[in-house]
Amino acid sequence: MKTLGPRISFYAGFVVGTLTLSVFLRQLWFERQVSTLARDLDYQQQLEEEKKMWKKEGSALYNLKHPHHIGEDSRMADELYKKVRILCWVMTGPKNLETKTRHVKYTWSRHCNILVFMSSVDDPDFPTVGLGTKEGRDQLYWKTIRAYHYVYEHYADEADWFLKADDDTYVIVDNLRWILANHTPDEPIYFGRRFKLFTKQGYMSGGAGYVLSKEALRRFIEGFKSKQCTHTSSIEDAAMGQCMEKVGVLAGDSRDSFHRETFHPFVLEQHLTFRSFKSFESYCYYPVLEGPNCCSDMSVSFHYVDAVGMYLMEYYTYHLRAFGYRYRYQPPTPPGYSINKFESWDAGKKDKKLEQKLVHPDLSRTDKRQNEDPPPVDGKDGPAAAEESASEDTEATVRGFIKTHLKLPEDTVKNITFDRVHRIGAKRTRTGRPRPIGAKFGHFKQKEQVKSRGRELKGSDLSMNNQFPKEILERHKVLFSI
Amino acid sequence: MLGDVCSHSKQDSWLNKDWKDRRTTGGTTVVTLLVSAIMLSDGCSFMKGMLLGGVFCLVLSFLGSFNFSSESSTEDHHHHHIYAPTKDELKRLSDSRVEELKNQVRVYCIIMVQPKTLVYWATVLDTWSKHCDNAVFYTSESSKALEAVDLNEKDDWARLRKALIHAYENAGDLRWFFVAQPTTFAIIENLKYLILAKDPNEPFYLGNAVKSGELEYVEYSSGIVLSYEALKRLMTMFKDEGQCPERTHTLWKMGEDKQLALCLKYAGVFAENGEDRHGKGLFNKQNVVNMIKQSMQDNPTDVVEGCCPDMAVTYGGMSPNQMHVMMFGVYRLRPYGHDFHDWLTFYPPKDSDND
């Protein structure tokens, strides 16, 4: 009996020792897991990642990586990126930077040409611009006014279109370019989700985002300078709409060719599933369509998108797809952007005939267009000085014209590059009058330089102007008659 | 002195060292403990016991350390993976062969519903199931609202069996079968792409393959894919009441997906995991929102890339609204100017307006 006591206590001690140490070790193991996780989420690492993604110039961000997929043909998108330059400015505040704005930075805003975050407070690290206002709903119009002034002052030359978005707006910038490619930045026009009330021509919903052309922005700034526009109210979107109307900027129709809306004031789920209600309908300028026709395939924006929603939208837009699926809606190609030159891109023998028929429906039209209707912008026409001959070198004619009549130095003229130069219009054999020459410049700056010499032609029978396709000229007629 | 030894803090030596170092220090500590245990042979037996207990535990944990830390990885360590064909592989095929394959890869969808999940049932009917070559709904009991094959069966496994038998008998010339639940969203085109170059006269049983003990099975809520041959063998297996009984009378019920795996295993058909070339699973039992939330924690600088595959086939646990959104996201929404020029074209179904 005497030996039993110590033996029991031995076994008891054994059990206790095993249990305590096993609990202890398990705890240690979890701690190790957690600590490695913490190391991975190290702040320093994040900063490193960001440096590789963005180029910071003052408060503007330029995306370096310009997200692309392997095996993707994004030549059309790339061309639009170059030609339709969009500056995105995002309305935010210091409290939202980590919870909302960060996710904007990591998703859709990477597709903008230039990105600026507007806040009440300067933050050189994020970076955000301090607009010198307070925070709050009543400050929205002040922030908008100041933001647009800031953007005009610093980046007017670097972009063609100027988009305003909230930090809970998701924007598909590629689709915005698709819409805007049908217009030029010289047009006084702005686009968004068109609402009626408060203004004759309607105004654009603030939350769904709106985009001003360069001319519209210029007129907005001028409007404030001349006191035509003032801080009329704190309801940012309505007030903006009133100013736009005053300075003669047109409220554009952003719907697709099936009349489906592209800018949306709510999240995708709501638009797809809700049954229309009167108060919403009373706001919308165009008739509200329910179900899948609520939203265009080429949708541009959604509002009230939370952090998870940002990544979800990015996944749905740029990543998740159905292999080989032939979409029902084939968006029409914007004028001047021909698909046929992309034909040679790895178009394999499989379904090629089918693809040509379906994916390039404008094939025959674009061919003709190239001969009759040179692309908009960068064009220049006017009755040519020289008589035309059957086999003339139109490019040499134009160069001669620039040297002689516009009086630009020979070296400058030599350096000018043209993509295309040719006579426009049907041959007028009867009247014998020379046809205008259209010249597509290789560089925007060179065109601007040549254009600026226009005053040299004063008093002569020669003229020089931008050339726009028919649709845009029609639109100009409407605008300038206001 | 006893007190010192008894309260000897082994803690410090562990906390400050790396795992690799810990093993060597662990070894030495074990030895010292043993020695001290022996030295205390004339001291308190309780303490001796405790020390030895601790030593015993340490030894065990060392031996089991591989199992400990790689709990999750053994699940992923599948022996069988199924990948979609690469672009080069497809390019090498002739036009007629591609057409043949496209015809061969037509899918019979088996959607297991119940009147209590009516809203989900209606949503599946209205969304992705329209992309199946033949979508048949199998219900446990009839519903006045929607049409389905009434199996009149409450038992889950028995119901699945009946549905599979019915599908086999009514397959027509379809050679692939996809079993889904009403909370599953499937992108049939991506399924077809995955199995494009696979022969349905070979036994294929694929989806999100997971292991439970010794049994490797395809998880139910992320969808189960069966080739004609696999289903045919299953039919034979169903006749064997010994190995593959219709009703189990055990106290605990094995999930019907595990039951299916067992029957198939006896028929020589093994589960395979459908994944993309980056190793991402194409069949997901979680819904996409949860997966993104998880990725926001795990990869905050690369949320979407680190989360979900581009050519995902299924997501489980989807609510009806989430399904409508995914339908739009897959078949409608896209960025202008980006094309993939896939080697195959799948056309939209007739009489449908949400795709």
What angle is formed at CA B135 by the lines to CA B130 and CA B141, rounded to 5 degrees? Answer: 125
Burial of A391 (0-12, 13-18, 19+ CB in 10 A): exposed
Distant-in-sequence, close-in-space partners of A67: CB < 8 Å, separation ≥ 6? A110, A111, A318
Q: Which of A96-105, A244-253, B35-44, B265-274 comes out lowest in average pLDDT?
A: B35-44
pLDDT band for position B6 (cuts 50, 70, 90): very low
Higher pLDDT, B248 or B220: B220
Round the CA-based radius of gyration of chain B to a whole number and report it. 27
Most B CBs within 10 A among A30, A266, A270, A323, hence the mutation to make, goes to A323
Distance from CA of A135 to the nearest CA of B (A): 28
pLDDT at A351 over 50: no
- Residue A114: what pLDDT? 96
pLDDT at A287: 92
| Residue in A29, A299, A311 nearest the CB of B68 | A29
Does A479 have pLDDT greater than 70? Answer: no
Q: Which of A24, A50, A174 has its CB closest to that of B336? A: A174
Q: Is A163 helix (H, G, I), strand (E, B) or coil?
A: strand
Calculate mean pLDDT across residues A296-300: 97
Question: Which range among A158-172, A375-389, B9-23, B222-236 shows the weakest confidence by mean pLDDT?
Answer: A375-389
Cα atoms in the 13 Å half-sphere on the side-chain side of A104: 34
Q: Who among A317, A322, A325 is closest to B335 (CB)? A: A317
> What is the average pLDDT across A141-147?
92
Q: Give the residue from chain B lying closest to A314, CA to CA.
A: B304
Q: Are A143 and A118 in contact (CB under 8 A)?
A: yes
How would residue A64 be classed by pLDDT, with cut points 50, 70 and 90? confident
Q: Which residues have a Cβ under 8 Å from the Cβ of B189 and sit 6 or more positions away?
A: A322, A323, A324, A325, B131, B346
Phi, psi of A102 (to 5 degrees): -55, -40
Q: Does the beta-carbon distance from A311 to B296 stay under 8 Å? A: yes
Whether the CB-CB separation of A401 and A384 falls below 8 Å is answered with yes
User: Residues of B with CB below 8 A from A98's CB?
Assistant: none
Q: Which of the four pLDDT bands, split at 50, 70 and 90, describes residue A367?
A: very low
Size of interface A-B (CB pairs under 8 A): 253
**CA-to-CA distance for A176 and A163, rounded, in angstroms?**
10
Kindly tell me if the per-residue pLDDT of A129 is higher than 90. yes
Query: What are the angstrom distances between the C-alpha of B79 and each of B226, B230, B270, B273?
Result: 18, 18, 10, 9
Average pLDDT value for residue range B189-214: 95
0.95 surpassed by complex ipTM: no
Does residue A135 carry a pLDDT above 70? yes
Q: At what angle do helices A236-246 and A214-225 cross, to 10 degrees?
A: 90
pLDDT for res B215? 93
Q: Is B7 an 8 Å CB contact of chain A?
A: no
Q: What percent of chain B has pLDDT over 70?
A: 82
Q: What is the pLDDT of residues A18-27, one digit of tens each?
A: 888 878 777 7
pLDDT of residue B21: 53
- Residue B246 CA to residue B234 CA, distance in Å, equals 12
Q: For residue A438, give how far its alpha carbon lies from the nearest alpha carbon of chain B (Å).
A: 27
**Least confident residue range of A130-139, A349-358, B165-174, B251-260:** A349-358
Mean pLDDT of B288-316: 95
8 Å CB contact between A170 and B325:
no
Q: Do A325 and B348 touch (CB under 8 A)?
A: yes
What average pLDDT does the structure give for chain B?
A: 85
**What is the Cα–Cα distance from B36 to B40, expressed in whole angstroms?**
6
Coil, strand, or helix at residue A182? coil
Please tell me which residue of chain A has the smallest CA distance to B296: A308
Encoded amino acid at A99, one letter: T
Residue A185, pLDDT > 50, answer yes
Rounded to whole angstroms, how far apart are CA atoms A336 and A84? Answer: 12
pLDDT band with cut points at 50, 70 and 90 for residue B39: low
Residue A182 has pLDDT above 60, yes or no: yes
The arithmetic mean of pLDDT across residues B244-264, rounded, is 84
pLDDT at residue B89 in the model: 85
Phi (first) and psi of residue B87, to 5 degrees: -60, -40
Contacts of residue A431, defined as CB under 8 A and 6 or more positions apart, other chains included, come to: none
Tokens encoding A174: 């590629």
Q: How many angstroms separate the CA atoms of A188 and A245, rounded?
A: 10
Instruction: Tell me whether residues A314 and B304 touch, CB distance under 8 A.
Output: yes
- Which site among A172, A267, A321, A339 would you substitute to test the B interface, given the most B Cβ atoms closer than 10 Å to its Cβ? A321
pLDDT above 70 (res B17): no
Chain A residues whose CB is inside 8 A of the B98 CB are: 350
- Residues from chain B contacting residue A352 (CB–CB below 8 Å): none
Q: Which residue has tokens 């060179």?
A: A446
Pick the closest to residue A170 from A312, A311, A303 (CA basis). Answer: A303
* Of residues B226, B242, B224, the one with CA closest to residue B234: B226
Q: Of A31-35, A68-72, A274-278, which one has max mean pLDDT?
A: A68-72
Higher pLDDT, B136 or A53: B136
Among all residues of chain A, which has the CA nearest to that of B127?
A: A292
**CB-CB under 8 Å, B329 with A317:** yes
Beta carbons of A329 and B348 less than 8 Å apart: no
> What's the predicted TM-score (pTM) here?
0.72
Distances (CA, A) of A427 to A295, A370, A423: 46, 16, 9
pLDDT band at B36 (very low <50, low <70, confident <90, very high): low
Residue-averaged pLDDT of chain A: 81
**Per-residue confidence (pLDDT) for residue A20, from 0 to 100:** 81
Interface mutation vs chain A, best among B22, B334, B351, B354, most A CBs within 10 Å: B334
Of B310, B336, B337, the CB nearest to A319: B310
CA dihedral B270, B275, B280, B281 (to 10 degrees): -50
pLDDT at A363 over 80: no
**Rounded Cα–Cα distance for residues A347 and A344 (Å):** 6
Residues 6+ apart with CB under 8 A from B155: B247
Token pair belonging to A57: 């110039």
Residue of B nearest to A81 (CA): B337
In chain B, % of residues over pLDDT 90 = 62
On the CB side of A298, how many CA atoms lie within 13 Å of its CA? 23
> CB-based contact (8 Å) between B193 and chain A?
yes
More confident residue, A179 or B144: A179
- Using CB atoms and an 8 Å cut-off, which of residues 56-115 of chain B contact chain A? 56-58, 61, 68-69, 84, 87, 90-91, 95, 98
- pLDDT tops 80 at residue A338: no
Chain B positions touching A308 (Cβ under 8 A) are 289, 292-293, 296
**In whole angstroms, what is the distance from residue B182 CA to residue B126 CA?**
12
Q: Is the peptide bond before A127 cis (omega within 30 degrees of 0)?
A: yes
* pLDDT tens column, A401-412: 888 888 788 778
Once rounded to an integer, what is the mean pLDDT over residues A285-289?
92
Q: Provide the residue type at B173 as one letter.
A: D
- Interchain contact, B58 vs A25, CB within 8 Å: yes
- Asked whether the beta carbons of residue B326 and residue A316 sit closer than 8 angstroms, the reply is yes
Banded pLDDT at A478 (limits 50, 70, 90): low
The predicted pLDDT at position A428 comes to 56
Q: Note whether A13 contacts B95, CB cutoff 8 Å.
A: no
CA-based nearest distance B10→chain A, Å: 10
Q: For residue A386, is pLDDT > 50?
A: no
Cβ distance B101 to B93 under 8 Å? yes
Residue B62 pLDDT? 73
Q: Are A253 and A285 in contact (CB under 8 A)?
A: no
Q: Which of A293, A360, A324, A289 is nearest to B348 (CA)?
A: A324
Contact A297 B288 (CB under 8 A): no
pLDDT value at position A383? 38
Residues of B in contact with A350 (CB under 8 A): 90, 95, 98, 343-344
Structure tokens at A284: 């919308």
User: Residue B235 burial (CB < 10 Å; 0-12/13-18/19+)?
Assistant: middle
Instruction: Express each pLDDT in A388-429 by its tens digit.
Output: 555 567 788 888 888 888 878 877 887 788 877 877 776 655
Check: CB of residue A339 under 8 Å from CB of residue A328: no
Chain A residue with minimum CA distance to B90:
A350
B334: nearest Cα among A190, A272, A271, A262? A262
Show residues of chain B in contact with A324, CB under 8 Å. Answer: 189, 193, 342-346
Positive or negative, the CA dihedral A195, A197, A202, A207 is negative
Checking if the pLDDT of A137 tops 90, the result is: no
Which residues in chain A are contacts of B188 at CB distance < 8 A? Answer: 322
Contacts of A264 in chain B (CB under 8 A): none
Give the closest of A14, A24, A311 to B292, CB-based.
A311
The answer to whether the CB atoms of B328 and A10 lie below 8 A apart is: no
Q: Which two tokens stand for residue A301?
A: 């924006």
Spell out the SS3 assignment of chain B: CHHHHHCCCCHHHHHCCCHHHHHHHHHHHHHHHHHHHHHHHHCCHHHHHHHHHHHHHHHHHHHCHHHHHCHHHHHHCCCCEECCCCHHHHHCCCHHHHHHHHHHCCEEEEEEECHHHHHHHHHHHHCHHHHCCEEEEEECCCCCCCCCEECCCCCHHHHHHHHHHHHHHCCCCCCEEEEECCCCEECHHHHHHHHCCCCCCCCCEEECEEEECCEEEECCCCCEEEEHHHHHHHHHHHCCCCCCCCCCCCCCCCCHHHHHHHHHHHCCCCEEEEECCCCCECEECCCHHHHHHHHHHHCCCCCCCCCCCCCCCEECCCCHHHHHHHHHHHHCCCCCCCECCCCCCECCCCCCCCC
**By the 8 A CB rule, do A143 and A133 touch?**
yes
Confidence of residue A187 (pLDDT cuts 50, 70, 90): very high
Q: What pLDDT is stored for residue A476 in this prediction?
A: 61
Nearest CA in chain B to A72: B340
B308:A315 CB<8 A: yes
Decide if B312 touches A, using CB distance below 8 A: yes
The conformation of residue A162, written as its DSSP 8-state character, comes to E
A476 SS3 class: helix
- d(CA A312, CA A434) in angstroms, rounded, equals 58
* Residue B161 confidence class, pLDDT cut points 50, 70, 90: very high
Token pair for residue A357? 């028929």
Average pLDDT over residues A34-50: 66
Compute the residue count for chain A. Answer: 482
> Which one of B15, B56, B83, B332 makes the best mutation probe of the A interface by having the most chain A beta carbons within 10 Å?
B332
- Among the partner-chain residues B188, B190, B337, the one whose CB lies closest to the CB of A76 is B337
